[in-house]
Amino acid sequence: SLWELEAWTGAEPKAVAPLGLVPIPATVTPQDGAGFSLSAASRIITAPAFGESAARLAEVLRASTGYELPVVETGEPAASDIVLASDAAVGGGNAEAYELSATASGARIAAADAHGAFNGAQTLRQLFPAAVESPTVVQAAWTTPALEIEDSPRFGYRGVMLDVARSFQTVDEVKEIIDAIASFKMNVLHLHLADDQGWRIEITNEGRAAGDTIDYSLLTTVSGARAMTQGGYGGEAGRTGFYTQADYQELVAYADERFVQIVPEIDLPGHTNAALGAIPQLNTPGSSHPATATQPTAPHNGSGAVGYSYLDPDSEVTFTFIQHVLGQLSGLTTGDLIHVGGDESHDMVARYGQAKFNAFVARVLGIVHGLGKSANGWNEIARTTSALQAGDKVQYWAGSTAELPAAAAAGAKIVASRGSSSYLDMKYNAKTPIGLTWACSGICDLTQYYSWNPGTFVSGLTEAQVAGPEAPMWSETIRGGDQAEFMMFPRAIAHAEMGWSPQAKRDVTDFTQRVGVVGARLTAAGVNYYDTSQATWF
C-alpha cells in the first residue's frame, strides 16, 4: 500500500510522515533507487501549451525553496529538472489525465491537455515535504519518493460552493479557497451571489433593453450593503460587500489560471428578497412584497428564514430584469454554466401552484440557453424536464430523488450534493461553535462525507449521468475566510477524492490517514481546517 512508501524514502527509519497523496491516484508504482531532488539548479522545462501550468508550479516551489526555477521551453533535461511534456496518448482520450515519474534521473509530467499537466503538478507538490507549501523560504531536503503514477479523474465536475450572499467573502479570501481546492484537483467553484440577505455582483445599466427603467446599480448600492443580521459566532452579523465587475473578472481569471471554473448563481424565483428590496419595479402585487406608499420596496430581512420571497411570475418586468442580469453575468463568465437556483420557492408554489413555478423555471432556462450557456439549478428544477437539455446540470441537495432519472434522460447531468454527506455548513458535532444541524442528526464529520458513492446514490441513474460531487458552503453562520476554511477542510477533501479517484481505490481508513498528512500541508499554506478526531494527524 502507499503507506509502505515511507520505507523507500531512505535507508534509515525516520520519523517522517507517510506519503499523503489526496486524491489517491489511479495507479502508483514504486521505483527502485532514490527519488527526485529539487535543487538550486532545477528548471521547469515545459511544452509551450503547458506554460500556465508550469508558471503555477514555479510560483509554489519558488516561494518555499527560494530557488530561481526558471521556466523554459527548450533544453536537454538534467536530473534536477522538472519536465512538463505534451503527449496526446496520455489518458487514452480522458481529459485532465497525466502521467508522472519522479526518480533520481528527473521529474516528468506528461499530459494530453494543459489541465492534465496542472493536475500532475498538484501531485508532484504532494510528493515533497509539507513545508513546500510555505509562502516563505524554508530549509529542507526537497526530495520525493521514487515512483511512477498514471492518473485520470472519475468525474469531470468536482466542485465546492461558497455562499457569499448571506455573508460576504473578499476577493483575497476567495482566491485562497481557489488555491486550496485546486491543489486537490477540484475544478468548480460555484459562487452563490444573491439571496434574501444580500446581492454581491455589480450589475450596470449598460445595454438595458428599450423601455427598461430599472436602475441596476441599486442592487449593490442597497443590497450589497446588507447581509445576515445575526447568526454568526456570538451573534455576529454577516459581512456586507460586493464584487465590482472588475473584481469579479479578476476572480474568474485567477480561477481560470488554476483550471477552476467559476459557476455564478443568481437564485430564482425565490431567495430574491435582496433584489426585491433594491429594485422598486419588482415589487408588483404579484410578488412576495407588493410596494405600498410607505414601503416602496421589500423590507430587508436579515434572518435565515427561507421560502418567503419570490418574483412576480406574471410580470414582464421580472423577465426583463432576469434577462439583463443573466446577460451581463454571462458576459463576465468564461465557463459554460450559469446557476439559476430554483430552490425553496415555497410561498410562490403555495400561491401560484407547481405548474406556474415550472413555467417560470422553463422560461429562465430558455434565457440561459439563449445566452449560449448551459444552466445549473437545484433539484427543484428537475420538475421542468421539458426545458432541460444536454449540458444542463441538476444539483441534488435534498428531498425525493424520483425526478432525477427523467431530468437525466432529458440530457441534464446530476451534481451530487446530498445534504447529509455534502453540506459544509453543518456542525461537525455538537461542540462545533458555528454551523447548522438540519442535514445530519448530530454528526456531520469527515468519514460521513467520504463514505458514499455519488455514482450510485440515486437508483435509476447511470454513472455517466452524474456530473460529479459538489460540496456547498452556506453562510448563515459563517463569517470570513478563516471560518469558511474551518468548515470546508477537511470535508471538502473527502469530496475531492470522491470526485477524482476510482471507487475501487477508495478506502476510508487509508483516506483518514492520508488526510492526516495533508494537515501539515494546509498549515504550511496558511489554510485553516478542523482537526477532526476522525483523521490520524501526523
Residues 6+ positions from 264 with CB-CB distance below 8 Å: 191, 193, 201, 329, 332, 333, 338, 339
User: What does the per-residue mask of binding to ligand TNX show for 308-347, with x meaning CB under 6 A?
Assistant: -----------------------------------xx---
CA proximity to 212, closest of 305, 317, 99, 352: 317
Contact call for residue 535 and ligand TNX (CB under 6 A): no
The residue (of 151 and 343) whose beta carbon lies closer to ligand TNX is: 343
Phi, psi for 29 (deg, rounded to 5): -120, 110
Instruction: Yes or no: say if 433 and 444 are a contact pair by the CB < 8 Å rule.
Output: no
Q: What nine digits make up the cell of 451? A: 463514505
The residue (of 20 and 341) whose beta carbon lies closer to ligand TNX is: 341
User: What does the per-residue mask of binding to ligand TNX show for 373-412, with x meaning CB under 6 A?
Assistant: -----x------------------x---------------
Contact call for residue 423 and ligand TNX (CB under 6 A): yes
CB of 426 to ligand TNX, least distance (A): 7
Q: What nine digits make up the cell of 25? A: 491516484
CB of 397 to ligand TNX, least distance (A): 4
Contact call for residue 357 and ligand TNX (CB under 6 A): no
Q: Residue with C-alpha cell 470522491?
A: 498
The residue (of 239 and 506) whose beta carbon lies closer to ligand TNX is: 239
CB of 395 to ligand TNX, least distance (A): 8
How is residue 533 annotated by DSSP?
Answer: T
Q: H or E element: which one contains 235?
A: none
Contact call for residue 306 and ligand TNX (CB under 6 A): yes
CB of 436 to ligand TNX, least distance (A): 5
Instruction: Yes or no: say if 506 and 453 are a contact pair by the CB < 8 Å rule.
Output: no
CA proximity to 456, closest of 469, 445, 446: 469
Burial class (CB in 10 A: 0-12, 13-18, 19+), 250: middle
User: Binding to ligand TNX (CB under 6 A): which residues in 234-293?
Assistant: none
Contact call for residue 425 and ligand TNX (CB under 6 A): yes
Q: H or E element: which one contains 433?
A: none
The residue (of 202 and 470) whose beta carbon lies closer to ligand TNX is: 470
CA proximity to 474, closest of 177, 158, 165: 165
User: Binding to ligand TNX (CB under 6 A): which residues in 430-469?
Assistant: 436
Catalytic site residues? 344
Residues constituting the chain? 538
Q: What nine digits make up the cell of 257? A: 489560471
Sheet holding 27-30, edge to edge: 27-30, 147-151, 98-103, 106-111, 82-86, 44-46, 71-72
Work out the angle at residue 151's Cα, subtended by the Cα atoms of residues 147 and 155, and round it to the nearest 5 degrees: 155
CB of 394 to ligand TNX, least distance (A): 12
Phi, psi for 72 (deg, rounded to 5): -130, 160
The residue (of 129 and 377) whose beta carbon lies closer to ligand TNX is: 377
The residue (of 343 and 497) whose beta carbon lies closer to ligand TNX is: 343
Instruction: Yes or no: say if 447 and 512 are a contact pair by the CB < 8 Å rule.
Output: yes
Among 155, 474, 500, 529, binds ligand TNX (CB under 6 A): 474
Total binding residues for ligand TNX by CB under 6 A? 10
User: Binding to ligand TNX (CB under 6 A): which residues in 82-101?
Assistant: none
CB of 502 to ligand TNX, least distance (A): 29
CB of 271 to ligand TNX, least distance (A): 6
Instruction: Give the 3-state secondary structure of residue 91.
Output: helix
The residue (of 192 and 506) whose beta carbon lies closer to ligand TNX is: 192
The binding site for ligand TNX (CB under 6 A) comprises 306, 343-344, 378, 397, 423, 425, 436, 474, 476
